[in-house]
Amino acid sequence: MYLKGIELAGFKSFAKKSELEFGAPISSIVGPNGSGKSNVAEAFRFVLGEQSMKSMRTKRGEDLIWGGSQAVPRSNRASVKVTFDNSKRLLDLDFDEVEFERIVHRDGINEYKLNGSSVRLKDVIELLAGANIGSTGHHIISQGEADRILNANLRERREMIEDALGLKIFQYKKNESERKLERTAENIQQVHSLRREIAPHLKYLKKQVDRLEKSRQMRVELKERLHEYLKREEVYLSYKEEDISSRKETPNTKLKKLDEELSKARETLERASKEDVRGQEVLNIESELSNARKKRDELTREVGRLEGQIAFAERHVSAPVSSGSIPVSELAVLKENFEKSLSEVSDSEDVSTVRRVLTSVQKTLGTLIEKYSESKEEAGDKEELVSLKEKKVALDRELSAVEVKAEELNESYKKLQVDIEESKDEERGAEREVFRITALKRELESELRDISRDEEMLTRASAEFKQNLAEGIVLAGRAVLEYENFDIEPSTVIDEARDKQEDRRRTIEKIKIRLEEFGAGSGEDLMKEYKEVIERDEFLTREIDDLEKSAETLKELIHDLEDRLSSQFKEGIEKINSEFQHFFEILFGGGTAVLTVVKQQKRKKKDTDIEMSDEAGELGEEDSEEGIDISVNLPRKKIKSLEMLSGGERALTSISLLFAMSQVNPPPFLILDETDAALDEANSRKYSEMIKELSTKTQLILITHNRETMSSAGILYGVTMGADGVSKLLSVKFEEAVKVAK
Ligand code: ATP
């Protein structure tokens, strides 16, 4: 026995707290019509979580509360408590006694309590389902509801039987699992759509990260290429620098020397050109010479004429003249002539001049002697002769002076000409020298220009080197400076064609341009974001995975539950059938009664059901569901359908089925409200026997007017209602009960 008692307070007609204790396998509640017996059955429904107002014969929750009478004011709340003996752990709770309580307030609010603690309705239903106290209420048969199972449709019947068989808990779990599966599917969709939402961003980030990686690789490549390039360039530049400075040295010294030579040559040239003024000197000498010659010729002619006069005079003077004395004045003139001639020759080294002068002196002396040797008569002639001869001496002297002068001029002229010729030679030589030096200088200058071009190139290359290094550091980091460590044999650099290095430079330029296109920046933020989004995506993927796993588990569970439901249902039907047949035979004295499982079109499915179904093949099966059909054959009667049964026959059939169901999977208690109302005396007896049999497995609460039924009860309660409209309970003896009942 599990049901210990029930307590009603403010529930329907039970205005005051009323308690019933069920200390026997069969308890009966008896009382006159309208006293409140059925309200007790409804109190059971109520406390066990009934949600259908109709099955509690009311419309609103408020109607369940004592409505008040003239004598007793209305209540604000109705409460029912039911107590179970849980020492056998009928309910899955670690308490020996479990008390359920439900309270309804006037505002329609319900409270549920389990051993005094507030719980949810769901908890109540779940706990009861585990104890085979199902929500279809198969364990509470209300008044006039005995044949409910006959009136029910195939599906309802199936549900009632499932409930009776204790399969509700599986059904409940299945529904719960299906709901979970539905939610899981929704979650999967949601997570999928979250993934889809971030997918484009992730794709974009991935692309950026790939670019970043590419640019990182390019930086490494740039760095390595720069190491080689810069090292080579450095070696090349320092070699070039040395080379240029050494190349410059020789031409510079040569040029310096040439400049000296050139300035000398130019000086020479200048000097020589200055000497050209001697041309005038030549002309002067020439004119002087010509004058001297003219004078000489004149004098020569004059001398000739004088000589003729002298010769004539001499012939006049025939006799030689005796020696006389020579006047001193004559001697003074002679002396003067001598001195003159002497001065003429004293400077001359020329012998001919000396000779000529001496000859003239000799002539003068001769003339003087001749003159003073003459006779007086001849003195006059002689005097003239002397005068002529004196004139001639003077002319001779003049002539010889002119001749000397002409000679001298001639000498100077010749010397001058030689000088001029020499000077011209020197000028030409200097000219040639200037020409030669200038040509050499030009060569050297061109060589130096080449070098200077090389130098400019070197300066440019040097600047370029620095720029490349600086840019390299910007793009590939300070590690570029490690180019110094790049190992290379200088000779390989020097011997290499320059265009190869140029090729290297171009390659580096290309990488730089690409790197610049990629944009600078370490991409730290990008990497952080990428990592976050990846993590989020991975999290979502894991989430989907987990959800799919749990969906799979749920499907398996549902499948398992369906299997169990189906096999236990079939088993249960078989067992019920045999009990059904047994009770049917007892009540009808023969005949057959059988439940058959039939397939019928399934009621409209929920959308989610379709969504949940993975295998398309299942749909066909899912479209139909199993229902329960009842076929009976009464002895000696031809019955084609249940509808053809009489009221009593219907009651007997449903009692057989009800009892069969209770036999197979006995509920902890069964409340039967006037189920026996339609039975005649003979059947009442049979019914009473069946009840006794049933009570060995299930605790029974019977609301009855039937004497036979009452007789089988161990405890009898009487319900009465006075003028105040309040139901009252009292424990009664069988005899009293019979009286109250009637
Ligand atoms: P019968 O033997 O005819 O089936 P019964 O003993 O089963 O009768 P019930 O149907 O349980 O009687 O009781 C009905 C009585 O309960 C009615 O008199 C009704 O007025 C009373 N009742 C129902 N609800 C309330 C309520 N909320 N407040 C007061 N009285 C109520």
Nearest CA to ligand 1 atom 18: 34
| CB 66 near ligand 1, within 6 Å | yes
| CB 75 near ligand 1, within 6 Å | no
Give distance in angstroms: CA of 8 to centre of ligand 1.
14
Nearest CA to ligand 1 atom 21: 13
> Which among 35, 79, 105, 673 is the best mutation to test ligand 1's pocket, defined by most ligand atoms within 8 Å of the CB?
35
By the 10 Å C-beta count (0-12 exposed, 13-18 middle, 19+ buried), 57 is classed as middle
Residue 567, domain member (yes or no): no
pLDDT tens by residue, 158-181:
888 888 888 877 887 888 899 999
Contact 738, 710 (CB under 8 A): yes
Last residue of a domain, one of 468, 483, 506: 468
DSSP labels for 227-290? HHHHHHHHHHHHHHHHHHHHHHHHHHHHHHHHHHHHHHHHHHHHHHHHGGGHHHHHHHHHHHHH
Give distance in angstroms: CA of 64 to centre of ligand 1.
11
Residues 283 and 415 in one domain: yes
**Per-residue pLDDT at 638:** 83
pTM above 0.85, yes or no: no
| CB 67 near ligand 1, within 6 Å | yes
pLDDT tens by residue, 240-275:
999 998 988 888 899 899 999 889 888 888 887 776
14 phi/psi in degrees, rounded to 5: -85, 75
Residue 723, domain member (yes or no): yes
Residues 102 and 241 in one domain: no
Last residue of a domain, one of 434, 453, 468: 468
| CB 33 near ligand 1, within 6 Å | yes
**Per-residue pLDDT at 602:** 66
Residue 436, domain member (yes or no): yes
- Strand ranges (DSSP E) for 41-96? 77-85
Residues 122 and 253 in one domain: no
Q: What is the CATH number of the domain that holds 11?
A: 3.40.50.300
Residues 115 and 240 in one domain: no
| CB 62 near ligand 1, within 6 Å | no
Residue 634, domain member (yes or no): no
Distance of CA 591 to the CA centre of its chain: 85
Residues 129 and 261 in one domain: no
> Which among 11, 12, 64 is the best mutation to test ligand 1's pocket, defined by most ligand atoms within 8 Å of the CB?
12
DSSP 63: G
Residue 404, domain member (yes or no): yes
CA angle, residues 671, 675, 680, in degrees to nearest 5: 145
| CB 143 near ligand 1, within 6 Å | yes
By the 10 Å C-beta count (0-12 exposed, 13-18 middle, 19+ buried), 732 is classed as buried
Contact 233, 501 (CB under 8 A): yes
Written as six digits, the tokens of 9 are 């307070």
Residue 371, domain member (yes or no): yes
Whole-Å CA distances, 705 to 28, 420, 737: 9, 184, 9
Residues 105 and 252 in one domain: no
**Per-residue pLDDT at 525:** 84
Give distance in angstroms: CA of 650 to centre of ligand 1.
26
Give distance in angstroms: CA of 613 to centre of ligand 1.
49
Residues 417 and 278 in one domain: yes
DSSP 56: G
Q: β-pairing, 117-119 with 727-731?
A: unpaired
**Per-residue pLDDT at 324:** 62
Nearest CA to ligand 1 atom 26: 12
Q: Which residues of the chain have pLDDT under 70?
A: 134-137, 275-277, 318-324, 373-379, 519-522, 602-623, 740-742
Q: β-pairing, 3-9 with 18-21?
A: antiparallel
**Per-residue pLDDT at 701:** 95
Residue 182, domain member (yes or no): no
Residue with structure tokens 């003249």?
321
DSSP 20: E
- Structural domain range at position 58: 1-139+704-742
DSSP 717: E
| CB 728 near ligand 1, within 6 Å | no
Give distance in angstroms: CA of 39 to centre of ligand 1.
6
Looking at the CA of residue 78, tell me the nearest atom of ligand 1: 27
Looking at the CA of residue 725, tell me the nearest atom of ligand 1: 30
**Per-residue pLDDT at 104:** 96
As a 3-state breakdown, the chain gives helix, strand, coil percent values, each rounded to 5, of 65, 10, 20
Query: 36, 76, 72, 77: which is closest to 57 by C-alpha?
Result: 36
Distance of CA 87 to the CA centre of its chain: 68
| CB 12 near ligand 1, within 6 Å | yes
By the 10 Å C-beta count (0-12 exposed, 13-18 middle, 19+ buried), 506 is classed as exposed
> Which among 39, 40, 717 is the best mutation to test ligand 1's pocket, defined by most ligand atoms within 8 Å of the CB?
39
Rounded Cα distance between 494 and 232, Å, is 9
Last residue of a domain, one of 468, 500, 523: 468
Nearest CA to ligand 1 atom 2: 33
Max Cα-Cα span within the chain: 254
Looking at the CA of residue 64, tell me the nearest atom of ligand 1: 27
- Count how many domains the chain has: 2
| CB 725 near ligand 1, within 6 Å | yes
Residue 595, domain member (yes or no): no
